Amino acid sequence: MQTENVFEVRGLTKTYRTGAGEVHALQGVDLDIRRGEILVLLGPSGSGKSTLLNILGGLDRASSGQALFDGQDLTRASDRELTRYRRRSVGFIFQFFNLSASLTAGENVELITEIAESPMSPAEALGLVGLKDRVDHFPAQLSGGQQQRVAVARAIAKRPKVLLCDEPTGSLDSKSGVQVLEAIVGVAGEAGATTMIVTHNAVVADIADRVVRFSDGAVAEVVANPARRAPSELKW
Ligand code: ADP
């Protein structure tokens, strides 16, 4: 079912039970995410941004509430359905790249495209992030920013509907971070992927269509930017 919103989140809660007691990571999140938009999620550490991203990516389960993806309630999906959803529809980018050290850039991308339905070739995906000439390089032969761009290529190669990025520039200097954001914005546009970027770097908010501010496990504010800025205009 194609609606204007890719995700419709209602009253979403997540409680972690730990030895020290309960942690209320999400305390009733309501949010609509529009098809094709770039959303930046800001907020203090521990306010629940990653938890929301993980639930929307099918990596974790909510405690209560609804999270509809194209009408399918992820909170009620079976493990099998969630696996299928992740495989088909979601591209992930994490802070620490998570590349296999023993595989080349091309092989790291290929690992994911092997299980996808109509993927790009590794060369095409790496071309989109400006690394066509690095297909045969191993992660150790690439800079941090280049490694993260391989991760961007890997995430987009299966043409996911949503691209979920958790602190994608968190371990990079400003220049590499800008290049990674350019790669994310570029591939998201190319593949028409709805993109969510969790960051604690407020400067990054300028590349968003809308900025979501988290506080204490809930959405405190959603602000639409009048215009998106190009990542190349950012500096931190
Ligand atoms: P943010 O991404 O905004 O920094 P998180 O979503 O990572 O916040 O965390 C929200 C809260 O949930 C924090 O208090 C964190 O310690 C807690 N939390 C996250 N994951 C777990 C977990 N697996 N077990 C217990 N508590 C967790």
| Residue 15, domain member (yes or no) | no
Give the pLDDT of residue 1.
59
Q: Tell me how many domains the chain contains.
A: 1
| Residue 9, domain member (yes or no) | no
Residue 105 structural domain: 36-60+86-233
Q: Residues 6 or more apart from 6 whose CB is under 8 A from it?
A: 33, 34, 35, 69, 70, 161, 162, 194
| Residue 30, domain member (yes or no) | no
The average confidence (pLDDT) of the chain is: 94
Give the pLDDT of residue 116.
79
- The token duo for 130 is 């400006």
| Residue 182, domain member (yes or no) | yes
Indicate the top mutation candidate among 29, 50, 94, 164 to test ligand 1's pocket, ranked by most ligand atoms within 8 A of CB: 50
Ligand 1 pocket, residue 203 CB under 6 Å: no
Ligand 1 pocket, residue 25 CB under 6 Å: yes
| Residue 42, domain member (yes or no) | yes
User: How many percent of the chain have pLDDT more than 70?
Assistant: 99
Ligand 1 pocket, residue 49 CB under 6 Å: yes
Q: What is the CATH number of the domain that holds 126?
A: 3.40.50.300
Q: Consecutive 10-residue runs of the chain (236 residues): their mean pLDDT?
A: 87 96 97 97 96 97 97 96 94 93 97 85 94 97 96 94 96 92 92 94 96 98 96 90
| Residue 74, domain member (yes or no) | no
| Residue 191, domain member (yes or no) | yes
Contact 114, 87 (CB under 8 A): no
In 3-state terms, what secondary structure has residue 13? strand
| Residue 18, domain member (yes or no) | no
Task: Report which of 67, 93, 44 is spatially closest to residue 196, judged by C-alpha positions.
Answer: 93
Give the pLDDT of residue 113.
84
CA distances from 142 to 37, 165, 209 (A): 30, 21, 31
Task: Report which of 59, 23, 55, 22 is spatially closest to residue 41, judged by C-alpha positions.
Answer: 55
